[in-house]
Structure 1
Amino acid sequence: MAYAEKVFKVKNGVKTKQFTWRCKYKAPAGHKPAWLTESGFPTKKVAEDWGAEQEAAIRAGTWIDPAKLSTPFGKWVEIWKTSVHKRPRTQSSRAYLLEKLLLPEWEYKPLAEVNNVFNVQSWATRVSKPLGPHDPGTVAQARSLLSTILSAAEDAQYIPVNRLFGRRILTGADHVDEGEEEVWAQPEDTQRLHQRFGGVQGLMVLTDCYLGLRWGELAGLHKDNCLIKRIDKIDGKSVVRHVIRVDPKVGSLHEDPVELDEEGLTAWHAAEDARLEMCRAKGWKANRRKTPRSRLEVYLGPPKNKYSAREVDVPEFLVRLLDQHLERWEHDHPFTTPTGSFWLRGNFSRELRPVADGRDEIPRKRGYAGREGWEPILPKFTMRGARHTADTWMKEDRVDRALRFASLGWVPKDIEGTYEHVTPEMRRHRLDALTARWRRGRRVTLRSVA
């Protein structure tokens, strides 16, 4: 049974008459030491009541060892890392948030202090722009990761409950900066982007606006999964449609930063030495580059989730354009660079910016042919905006929700999603609506040119 004892204060090595109370209570069976103490109580009754609460929690199985509560956040993170296995992309994103935002603030602080809504809100406000260096969206991701880590600590009985779970922690920037809405396109915009971009890039933008594939699904698409024939029965008649298939095993291109291990660093330094030696041999001036912490691993793998492995119906006009492209395209993947290498998201985005945003004219001069100026078509449009475009169009065309979810690879989480199914009539309605949009876009574009 818990009991209390006096603890006299000591001043200059001499015990004074002032004292507080210390509680001693029996630890769970097998715990070392067998008795635990907690000091600093103002009265004997308060100390004994607190000890009785601890013993009651031990009997109920809800007691948290004070040693675990005082575990430094950084130490718990190392334990937590061994219990989770995520895709390399997720691991690298989490490593960045830990290194840049969470560990600098919380690494040596006990879990009990981290698990405090006021402390976390104060930190989030301090590090978010305009007061701090980080974008509010990045800080929001760090807050979410912090809550995930604390939930694991709760499961492992290092803390009694994750106090951040389900709490939206606002910072000053959150109230004034809601973020910009993703830019989506009208059919005539996609026509102009397609024409100005030209080639495989223009076809990629057009295809994504009408089909709504994720970037990795588009960039990693294989010829074998293009324009596969499917036959439906409508009113007793056979109707042929063509689909693009997102393969469940290799249907998406992944770009994952992977931390360099010792072997990788050795290989990088060897390559850098060879580069510097070549520059010296040619008489070029070259400085040693900064040692990278990671390398970008590009590979084909599964799409985002099991619902992302799907077939997306292709309207007839796009079937013709893709078929013409595939006939003359010599590479296995139809949406690569002209040399056959995969487009990286950042590289393609840089190519897209002047096409969508416009660019200044550069006059011709000696030694330079000049450059044509472009008026803006759709400023800030991105390939993510193309996916927004596809969904917006389907919503406006009243495409059934079951087909919208199936086309975009979304997870049907509610009871309606469990029971609804896609029919041939739904598919025909969507394809007819997309064809009508294509024709409307061509009319508007031709009128503007005339």
Structure 2
Amino acid sequence: MPNAKGKRRRFGAVRQLKSGRWQARYRDPGTGQLRSAEQTYPTKKDAEVALSHIEADISRGQWADPDAGKVLLADYATAWLRDRKLADRTRERNESVIRLHILPTLGARPLSSITTSHVRAWRSALLENVGEPTVVKAYQILRAVMHTAVDDELIRRNPCRIKGADSYDVPERPVLTVAEVFAAADAITPRYRLLVLLAAFTGLRFGELASLRRRDIDTENGVLMVRRSQAEMQNGALFDKAPKSDAGIRPVAFPTELLPDVREHLEYFAGAGRDGHVFVGPQGGQLRRSNFRDDWIKARTKAGITANVHFHDLRHTGNTLAASGASLRELMTRMGHSTPRAALIYQHMVNGRDREIADRLGAMIRKTREDAGS
């Protein structure tokens, strides 16, 4: 339509509605169809300014289809999770976080309507009901979903912009002494004694220990070969998964002082055959956290160890004990946290620095035994 000087606008048009408000209209740059701005304006000038902004966004390539952002977060998050390549257990965890902690509050909202203030209010309410680690995980997933929505040009800006919301301060976990480790090992049921000792003196995770097979133990050189990790689904199904990175596949030396314990365990408690599990449950089935947890709590109590020590803290203990005299790279390699692993060969680990770390741990064991006997 002509403007006040009788000239037609180069881009779009404005018109007055029956309500008296003004509407801006323009051609969709993608389809060429005529469309209206998302809102109306009190004056003609306001509508023309809005139209100028739309024109500028289109010319800069920053225009986003207003209708695209109308998809509900629940629908988009479901598709987002479905299309991602994830390990089964990770997918299950992410699905659970989305279903329990994101969708009940934000799921019914269109993507384009979710603002930083909405995210902040959602996060604050969540912190009142669940632990901070869960809130951090939920925020990280929501931010990733909205980041993909930006990439898909459904929204212009990620509303997850809360400083520090993607991390939390992990409380310092307790470190056991060598004497406390052996006290717990002596107090636990015999079939789990070696599990406690290896957790502390190799730093392996529970899932890595639970997945060990007989063929993974070199009793001549005192080395474990970590090849996989056991995972458990929410429905109770157990399966072995590959480590998250190449760093997870690694040989780990253990103190030769533990060889008698290893040989005794393999003789009396491990599964049959080279592929038999090193650690099995009380009925001969695969080891589960649930059928081990009570034994750990009882042993911890019997050994006089504080109640806030979790089994996973044995890994932290192993990290700390091994750190004495080890470089950061050597420690990361031992714990399965570094990535440059392709050139690492088994013999290097047996005769190299990791053997020295295990020997230092062995010296700690000998000294503890000597002190106890004196």
TM over 0.5: yes
1:105, distance to aligned residue in structure 2 (A):
0.6
Q: Distance in 2 between matches of 1:105 and 1:6?
A: 38
Unaligned runs of 5+ in 2: 1-10
Cα offsets for 1:178-206 (capped at 9, x unmatched): 66432221111101011111412121011
The answer for the alignment partner of 1:381 in structure 2 is 309
Are the counterparts in 2 of residues 24 and 37 from structure 1 also a CA contact under 8 Å?
yes
Query: Pick from 192, 216, 224: which aligns with 2:183?
Result: 192
- What does 1:154-303 correspond to in 2, within 5 Å? 154-164=150-160, 167-169=163-165, 180-227=171-218, 241-247=221-227, 251-257=228-234, 295-303=235-243
Are the counterparts in 2 of residues 121 and 170 from structure 1 also a CA contact under 8 Å?
no
Q: Distance in 2 between matches of 1:330 and 1:35?
A: 71
1:56, distance to aligned residue in structure 2 (A):
2.7
The worse-fitting range, judged by mean Cα deviation, of 400-409 and 39-48 is 39-48
Cα offsets for 1:153-189 (capped at 9, x unmatched): 1121111132325732399xx8xxx664322211111
Q: Distance in 1 between matches of 2:96 and 2:12?
A: 46
The residue matched to 1:245 in structure 2 has which SS? strand
The answer for the alignment partner of 1:349 in structure 2 is 293
Are the counterparts in 2 of residues 336 and 342 from structure 1 also a CA contact under 8 Å?
yes
Q: Distance in 2 between matches of 1:153 and 1:304?
A: 26
Are the counterparts in 2 of residues 313 and 431 from structure 1 also a CA contact under 8 Å?
yes
Q: Distance in 1 between matches of 2:30 and 2:166?
A: 43
Give the direction of change, closer, same or farther, for the CA distance of 1:136–1:401 in structure 2 (3 Å limit). closer
The residue matched to 1:312 in structure 2 has which SS? strand
Q: Distance in 1 between matches of 2:218 and 2:342?
A: 28
The answer for the alignment partner of 1:90 in structure 2 is 90
Q: Distance in 1 between matches of 2:31 and 2:161?
A: 32
The answer for the alignment partner of 2:25 in structure 1 is 24
- What does 1:62-141 correspond to in 2, within 5 Å? 62-114=62-114, 116-129=115-128, 133-141=129-137
Are the counterparts in 2 of residues 191 and 442 from structure 1 also a CA contact under 8 Å?
no
Q: Distance in 2 between matches of 1:94 and 1:80?
A: 11
TM superposition outliers: structure 1 runs of 4+ over 6 Å: 417-423
The residue matched to 2:237 in structure 1 has which SS? strand
Q: Distance in 2 between matches of 1:121 and 1:441?
A: 52
Cα offsets for 1:24-55 (capped at 9, x unmatched): 12211325x33333333233233222222223
Provide TM-score, normalisation by structure 1. Answer: 0.73
Give the direction of change, closer, same or farther, for the CA distance of 1:106–1:323 in structure 2 (3 Å limit). same
**Counterpart check, 1:410 vs 2:337:** yes
The residue matched to 1:383 in structure 2 has which SS? coil
Are the counterparts in 2 of residues 185 and 386 from structure 1 also a CA contact under 8 Å?
yes
Q: Distance in 2 between matches of 1:445 and 1:165?
A: 56
1:96, distance to aligned residue in structure 2 (A):
1.6
Give the direction of change, closer, same or farther, for the CA distance of 1:428–1:84 in structure 2 (3 Å limit). closer
The answer for the alignment partner of 1:393 in structure 2 is 321
How many residue pairs are counted as aligned between the two chains? 357
Provide TM-score, normalisation by structure 2. Answer: 0.86
- What does 1:301-450 correspond to in 2, within 5 Å? 301-329=241-269, 331=271, 332-356=276-300, 358=301, 374=302, 376-395=304-323, 397-412=324-339, 424-446=351-373
Q: Distance in 2 between matches of 1:89 and 1:380?
A: 27
The answer for the alignment partner of 1:3 in structure 2 is 13
* Partner AA of 2:284 in structure 1: G
Are the counterparts in 2 of residues 225 and 246 from structure 1 also a CA contact under 8 Å?
yes
- What does 1:139-158 correspond to in 2, within 5 Å? 139-158=135-154
* Partner AA of 2:122 in structure 1: W
* Partner AA of 2:194 in structure 1: L
Cα offsets for 1:93-129 (capped at 9, x unmatched): 1222122221111111111232x22211112212322
Are the counterparts in 1 of residues 23 and 47 from structure 2 also a CA contact under 8 Å?
yes
Are the counterparts in 1 of residues 322 and 357 from structure 2 also a CA contact under 8 Å?
yes
The residue matched to 1:25 in structure 2 has which SS? strand
Give the direction of change, closer, same or farther, for the CA distance of 1:197–1:228 in structure 2 (3 Å limit). closer
Give the direction of change, closer, same or farther, for the CA distance of 1:52–1:199 in structure 2 (3 Å limit). same
Q: Distance in 1 between matches of 2:166 and 2:206?
A: 31
The answer for the alignment partner of 1:236 in structure 2 is none
The residue matched to 2:39 in structure 1 has which SS? strand
* Partner AA of 1:210 in structure 2: F
